[in-house]
Amino acid sequence: MSRKEKERLPVMNLEVTDVKIYPFDTTGVGGNVKAVATIRINDILEIKDIKILYSNKGYFIQMPTRKSRTGEFIPIVNPLSKELYLHIRRKILDEYKRIMEKYNEKSSSNA
């Protein structure tokens, strides 16, 4: 079983059961945010405002944060298990890739 296949499996009975992607690209204004995601875990917990970012190392996610009075960003949601974080990341990036492929197919067929 590949690493990606393992990351798609539930972790400690927790599984991402739904992913919604809201694409927008901030590259034009110097940003690296490609989309925002909302996930559901076991259809009982919803986490919003997970950012999908792109760097020279590839795509990654940033869990929701808030800005403190001192200007630093403090995590609001933080998976304490690396395996759970990898599971969440894999599910989000799989769905992002699927959505973007669908968008690109639609764009190329309209050209």
Residue 26 lies in a domain: yes
Q: Is residue 52 part of a domain?
A: yes
Q: Is the residue at 109 inside a domain?
A: no
pLDDT tens digits, 54-110: 999 999 999 999 999 999 999 999 999 999 999 999 999 999 999 999 887 776 776
Distance CA 25, CA 35 (A): 7
Amino acid 33 reads V
Residue 110 lies in a domain: no
| Model confidence pLDDT, tens digit, residues 38-61 | 999 999 999 999 999 999 999 999
Q: Which residues pair with 102 in a beta bridge?
A: none
Domain span holding position 88? 3-104
Could you give the number of structural domains in the chain?
A: 1
